[in-house]
Homo-oligomer: A and B are copies of this chain.
Amino acid sequence: MKVGLIGIGTVGGGTYKVLTENAKEILKKTGISIDIARVADKNLALAKKVVGDENKITDDAFDIVNDKEIDLVIELIGGTGIAKELVETALANKKHVVTANKALIAMHGEELVELAEKNKVILAYEASVAGGIPIIKAIREGLAANQIEWIAGIINGTTNYILSEMRENNLTFDVALKQAQELGYAEADPTFDVEGVDAAHKVTIMASIAFGIPVNFEGAYVEGISQLQQKDIAYAEELGYRIKLLAITKAHSDAVEIRVHPTLIPEKRLVANVNGPMNAVLVKGNMVGPTLYYGAGAGAEPTASAVVADVIDIVRQCKHGHGAMIPTLGFTKENIKKKKLLTIEEVESEFYLRLSMKNKTGLLANITNIFADKGVSIDAMVHKEIQDNNLDPDIFLVTSKVKEQTINEIISKIESLPENKDKIIKIRIEELNK
């Protein structure tokens, strides 16, 4: 099996390492040797340093996707520009493609899947979600007997590291982000990670293979952690919750939710105790119940572990002389059907709200009446005692399960009270027990 590797950066370098250092082990499991025939990178010096053999390297990735000798292309440059063109060309040239490119699959999955099927080659993307955790395989194969009801995952290591530091060491978001950048857990421009876009790409892919819907990134609701305050992390803890950036997708009979946002999770749940840069995905099947998959969600070697698992899968299939055994998106083509995506206003959750109000007799009665009028009950409420320089105490509370639109109406009403001092903080809660 002749492989062409495009991109020799972090994940590319890791992939080269796994394929070479574990070559003997992999051969024992496949019976077919995997030959890294060519490597492409703009940085020829780096490529030469990693690969050694000058004859194998090129700075033009199109050399690889057009090379008749190559059976399988590993695309690890990322993004949706040149990477898309390369993957399309490789598939059109009847080469199998393995990619870790979540943006590419989330935004152009549909057309690429069609192209792969038309050319009877395999498009594999295990590494695009949750790094080294074999979650695509678990959903598409291991849990295939189930109707998946929902998935909730911590699938962005950067934000999980930041949130863990904010909680454990009482840091502000800005300080924790800086620390994450120094340790290499966050990029110089951290926007994609901290604003939830990376997690949204990943959950979009999982929603497709879990529910048999086309990959549809546009429909996802995305909210990051950059506005999160230490205070709310501490208050959540008082109520028995941890705050995580959760990527959630749920199936309804005729609709689907896809959303990423900071979320309160009961601290007793295993997933609430996943800290640092680690990832975990909780999958609820109608027969198996909840199952959880935990591991490193990023980094050179963990991500490469998933890339190479895909390569091995393809080698094992090719050995028996046929194309994709597993439908690329888990469901057979004719069974992938568009479903309505709920807007965030239509989604039901419990809510954590924090109010900043001037203290006044009758205030709590005023507030609770607003909830009662809308038929929403308050499951817990704390009136934080008055501190040194703050005569107006914080009020924070947990609501019953309700449509977000209703909560927004309640918030408007409270914010229009004369006692209101500031914007109400709203964070969604997921109990993850049903």
Residues of chain A touching chain B, judged by Cβ–Cβ distance below 8 Å, are: 14, 17-18, 22, 25-26, 28-31, 126, 132-134, 137-138, 141-147, 212, 270, 273-274, 280, 285-296, 301-302, 304-309, 311-313, 316-317, 319-323, 325-327, 330-332, 335
* Contact (Cβ within 8 A) A274 B270: yes
Specify which of A132, A301, A307, A316 lies most central, judged by the most chain B CB atoms within 10 Å of its CB. Answer: A132
Report A86 CB to chain B, min CB distance, Å. Answer: 23
**Which of B296, B313, B332 touches A29 (beta carbons < 8 Å)?**
B332
Q: A29-B330, A270-B274, A331-B29 are in contact. Are A302 and B288 (CB under 8 A)?
A: yes
Residue of B nearest to A334 (CB): B31
Report A133 CB to chain B, min CB distance, Å. Answer: 6
**Which of B145, B270, B312 touches A273 (beta carbons < 8 Å)?**
B270
* Contact (Cβ within 8 A) B296 A288: yes
Bound-state CA distance A289–B31 (Å) is 25
Q: A28-B212, A330-B29 are in contact. Are A288 and B292 (CB under 8 A)?
A: no
**Which of B143, B294, B316, B332 touches A28 (beta carbons < 8 Å)?**
B332
**Which of B29, B270, B305, B320 touches A322 (beta carbons < 8 Å)?**
B320
Could you pull out 24 A-B pairs where Cβ atoms are within 8 angstroms? A14-B287, A22-B145, A22-B147, A28-B212, A28-B335, A29-B330, A29-B331, A30-B332, A126-B142, A132-B288, A132-B289, A132-B291, A134-B143, A137-B142, A141-B313, A142-B309, A144-B312, A145-B304, A145-B305, A270-B273, A280-B292, A288-B295, A289-B301, A292-B292
* Contact (Cβ within 8 A) A308 B141: no
The list of the 6 closest CB pairs from A to B, nearest first, reads: A134-B142, A145-B308, A291-B295, A132-B288, A288-B305, A28-B335
* Contact (Cβ within 8 A) A291 B145: no
**Which of B134, B308, B317 touches A138 (beta carbons < 8 Å)?**
B134
**Which of B18, B25, B137, B145 touches A18 (beta carbons < 8 Å)?**
B145
